[in-house]
Amino acid sequence: MAREPKIGVAAPAFHATAVGGEYGAGRQVSLADFRGSVLILHFYPKDDTPGCTVQACGLRDAWDEIKDRAAVFQSPFPLLSDPEKKMATAYGVWVEKNMYGRKYMGVKRATFVIDGNGRISAIFHKVKPEQHARLLHPVLRANIKK
């Protein structure tokens, strides 16, 4: 398991398949493709669960305010596919979890904001899903896409 990167350090490089939006049925992208732009990487535990749905809907509802300031991968925006969990591991979000005494591996909820120089400018953990989009606004204003 990799350690989670810290604010101010270079973001872990990645290659992943982006699906949806301008990427259609799928196209390879990498961190380098977003040089000069702000990028939001939003990791969430599981599709179609109440908390993840509320969080995604918050981003969707704030999409008009976010889309010109950052590239985002989450519905209604393109998604990044990480079936081998390489990105989740590199970003330290593939972790051992414990529910009702049962231990298992899974993704912990985290959002990384990467500036135009490829450095991590903000990290959000265990955010209440309904507050997530609102917390991103000040960070995006400070990292205006050039």
List the CATH number of the domain containing 73.
Answer: 3.40.30.10
Binned at pLDDT 50, 70 and 90, residue 2 comes out as confident
Beta strands in the chain (DSSP E): 15-19, 27-30, 39-43, 71-73, 79-81, 94-99, 102-107, 110-114, 120-125
Dihedral (C-alpha) 30, 97, 136, 21: value to the nearest 10 degrees? 40
Place of tokens 């398949």: 17
Number of domains within the chain: 1
Can you give the residue range of the structural domain that contains 36? 15-142
Residue 7 lies in a domain: no
pLDDT in tens, 106-145: 999 898 999 999 999 999 888 887 888 888 877 877 765 4
Q: Does the annotation count 52 as an active-site position?
A: yes
Residue 3 lies in a domain: no
State the catalytic residue, choosing from 16, 29, 41, 52. 52
Residue 128 lies in a domain: yes
Residue 44 lies in a domain: yes
Instruction: Using the predicted structure, report yes or no on whether residue 146 has a pLDDT greater than 50.
Output: no
Residue 119 lies in a domain: yes
